[in-house]
Amino acid sequence: MRALVVDDEAPARSRMRRLLADHGGVEVVGEAHDGASALTAIFTHKPDVVLLDIRMPGLDGITLAQTCRDLPPIIFCTGYDEHAVKAFEVNAVDYLLKPVRPERLAAALARVRVPVPVTSGGPAAQTLALTALAPPNTSRVISSSRGEVKFFDAQHITRFWAAEKYTLFIADGEEQLTEEPLAALETRLAPLGYMRVHRSEVVRLAAVKALRDTDGIAELMLSDGQVARVSRRLLQAVRRSLQAMGGR
């Protein structure tokens, strides 16, 4: 795989070269320091992938991708997370935040080798963008609405619930929406004490104030006034988990 590194900062280009050197079969065929020189390098070296910064003098990375057709696959590498949605609207393969971690770079390169079809600007693009910005082992939850991307700390959220193809939650006193699936949130946020209590409900157990079981209907009363349903199948597991927390 032939790679072109584009960044206006020489140390960033050098670090990316070192990261790429650890991947067998990847050859860095050139560097560029801005959008204009990147275009020249693309046509000269014909790379298989472009590691592209966003904020650069003159022609920035997003504008380059928007205005130039027939570009190689692009992996955006930037220190700014607010451009993620726009990046995937131009069919970026991935969106890496600096400092780029080796494992995220490896995953991005794997996507170049085995392309994932994405419809420009559609839900798949939004989902990829959110996944890229909320990698495993972080507590950040990302919501995108009307072109605005917001970031929330899951430790201040009490409950996530599924509604059709979306996941909803309350934050800043308002209902928020994320395209990260409920199952993914359940797994990612388990270290923070989140638990699946219903097929469409994931709850932070530390926020539970009471468990009410009336006439076969089980519900959790949460610290912010929300109420979460508990399925009969999961009720005993929820009871055990709450009792274990009480005994700490």
Residue reference for tokens 């570009």: 71
Question: Do residues 3 and 27 lie in contact, with contact meaning Cβ atoms separated by under 8 Å?
Answer: yes
Q: Is the pTM of this model over 0.75?
A: no
- Give me the CATH number covering residue 181: 2.40.50.1020
Task: Going residue by residue through the chain, which has 248 residues, state the pLDDT in tens, using 9 for 90 and above.
Answer: 999 999 999 999 999 999 999 988 899 999 999 888 898 899 899 999 999 999 888 888 888 888 776 789 999 998 877 777 777 777 788 888 888 888 889 988 988 886 545 444 555 555 555 555 555 556 888 776 665 677 899 999 999 999 877 789 999 889 988 877 888 888 889 999 999 999 999 999 999 999 998 888 999 999 999 999 999 999 999 999 999 987 54
Q: Are residues 124 and 197 in the same domain?
A: no
- Dig out the tokens for 81 from the structure: 């997370």
Q: Which of 116, 126, 139 is nearest to 89 (CA)?
A: 126
The pLDDT score that the predictor gives to residue 131 is: 54
Total domain count, the chain? 2
pLDDT score at 119 = 47
Which of 111, 133, 155 is a domain's end point?
Answer: 133
Instruction: Clarify whether residues 151 and 109 are in a common domain.
Output: no
| Residue 17 shares a structural domain with residue 37 | yes
113 in the same domain as 12: yes
Q: Is the CB of residue 108 less than 8 Å from the CB of residue 94?
A: yes
Q: Answer with the one of 82, 112, 133 that is the final residue of a domain.
A: 133
* Residue 148 and residue 203 in one domain: yes
Task: Identify whether residues 103 and 14 lie together within a single domain.
Answer: yes
Looking at the structure, do residues 126 and 216 belong to the same domain, yes or no?
no
Q: What pLDDT does residue 223 have? A: 96
Q: What is the pLDDT of residue 135?
A: 52
**Which domain range does residue 109 map to?**
2-133
* Edge-first strand listing for the sheet containing 201-204: 174-178, 166-171, 159-163, 201-204, 194-198
